[in-house]
Structure 1
Amino acid sequence: MAFSTREHFINKLSVYAPEYKEELDFRQRMLALLKAPDCFLRSSLKAHFTASAWVIDPEFNEALLTHHVKLNRWLQLGGHADGDEDLLNVSKKELSEESGLTSFKPYTTEIFDIDIHTIPERKNVPEHEHFDVRFLFMADKAEEIKFNHESNEVAWVSLSEIPALCNENDSILRMIEKTKQLSKGLSVMI
C-alpha cells in the first residue's frame, strides 16, 4: 500500500533515532505539528516546516554555507516547504537555487538532523518557529557557485572555522560533530 508524502515523512521521523537529547524533543514537537493540515505552508504563522541541505565536500573537511541576507548570519542552505511535503525535494531545490550547484548528490535519503528555531518578526510576518529537517549532501568544490538575492555570499568553509563564523550556533555545531563522526566511521571501513 502506497503512503502519502506526509505519511512517509511521519514514518521517517518516527524512526529517526538521534543521539542528541534536543533532537528527541524536536522530534516529538514535529510529530505533533504534523497533525496541522497547513504545517508545510508559511501561512501557518506560529510554526511551519522548512528543509535544509548540509553540504560537505567528499573529504569531509568543508561545508557549504550561505551568509543569509535577511538574518545576517552564516547558515546551511535551505528554505520554506511552501506546500511541498517531500522535504528531501525541498532541500535539493533550495540547494540548487541558493548555490547554483548541479553536481551535488544526497549522501543518504535519510534525515541527517532536525532543529526548531525562532525566526524574529520582520515586516508583516510575526515571530514564528521553523521546524527544520536537514539532509546531508556531497558536492564538488570545483563547481562554480552562483548565489542568488537571498545570500550576501555562499562559500566553502573549513569545519574547524565554522564554529566561530556561526557564533557557536548549537545546531550547526551538532551537524559538524555528526559530520566528523561519519568521517571517522568511513576511515575505519576503508
Structure 2
Amino acid sequence: MSLYDDAVLVLKNLKNDEDQEVLRQAYLDHLAEHPDGMWKACEDGHITASAMVIDPEHGRVLLTLHRKLRMWLQMGGHCEPADETLAAAALREGTEESGISGLRLLPGGPVRLDRHRTPCAWHLDVQYAALAPSGAVEAISDESLDLRWFTYDEVTEVADESVVRLVEAARARL
C-alpha cells in the first residue's frame, strides 16, 4: 500500500468530532484532485503529519520553537518517500524534532486535523499524539530555535489555538 493509499484509508476511517468532519472531507477531496497531494511539491497544498509529544507522568507536552515560523508548535512536517504510513511519518517527525527515541503513538489513529497556511503552501496536517518514555531527554534539532516542556496549562500562554486544541484532544485520548 502506498502512502497516498494509507492517507486516504486513515482519513476515510477517521472518527472525530463533528467540527472535524468538514475538514476531513476537504482533505479527501484534495487528495482526489491531487495525486501528488502527499508531497511538498504540490503547490495547492499537501498532507503533513505531526505528533504532540506528551509526558503524562509529569503533566506536560514538548513544543518546538519552529525556526522558520517562530512559533511554539508540536513536532511535525512533510511526508517523505520512505514513509510507509501517516503514522510512521508522524512518529519519524516526532523523533527527529524532539531527539527522543522510544516515542509511542497513542492508539486510535490521528487525534485531530488542522489546515494552516505556511510559506510553502497550505498544510493539511494529520495530527497524532506520542507518549514520551519515562525519563526522556530531548535534543534540539536544526529545525528548531528551542525545545521546551510546558505544563498543559502553560500551553495556552505560548501557543496558538490550534496547538491548544491539539493538547486538549490528546489529553482526552489519554
Tell whether the structures are fold-level matches, with TM greater than 0.5: yes
CA contact (8 A) 1:141 1:156 kept: no
Question: Equivalent pairs: percent with the same residue?
Answer: 30
Deviation at 1:85, TM superposition (A): 5.7
Structure 2 residue 46 is matched with structure 1 residue 53 = no
Structure 2 residue 113 is matched with structure 1 residue 114 = yes
The residue type paired with residue 34 of structure 1 is L
Q: Distance in 1 between matches of 2:113 and 2:39?
A: 18
Secondary structure (helix, strand or coil) at the match of 2:172 reads helix
What is the aligned partner in structure 2 of residue 186 from structure 1?
A: none
What is the aligned partner in structure 2 of residue 81 from structure 1?
A: 79
Tell me which of 24, 28, 31 is aligned to 1:31: 28
Tell me which of 61, 65, 81 is aligned to 1:63: 61
The residue type paired with residue 150 of structure 1 is E
Structure exhibiting the larger radius of gyration computed from Cα positions: 1
Tell me which of 136, 144, 153 is aligned to 1:143: 136
Deviation at 1:41, TM superposition (A): 1.2
TM-score by length of 2: 0.89
What is the aligned partner in structure 1 of residue 164 from structure 2?
A: 173
Q: Distance in 2 between matches of 1:176 and 1:143?
A: 19
TM-score by length of 1: 0.82
Secondary structure (helix, strand or coil) at the match of 1:13 reads helix
What is the aligned partner in structure 2 of residue 104 from structure 1?
A: 103
Deviation at 1:115, TM superposition (A): 0.8
Moved over 4 A (4+): none
CA contact (8 A) 1:101 1:146 kept: yes
- Structure 2 gaps of 5+ residues are none
The residue type paired with residue 118 of structure 2 is I
Aligned-residue CA RMSD (Å): 1.9
Tell me the matched-pair count: 172
Q: Distance in 1 between matches of 2:54 and 2:18?
A: 21
- Structure 1 gaps of 5+ residues are 184-190
Summarize the Cα distance change of 1:179–1:91 in structure 2 as closer, same or farther, 3 Å threshold.
closer
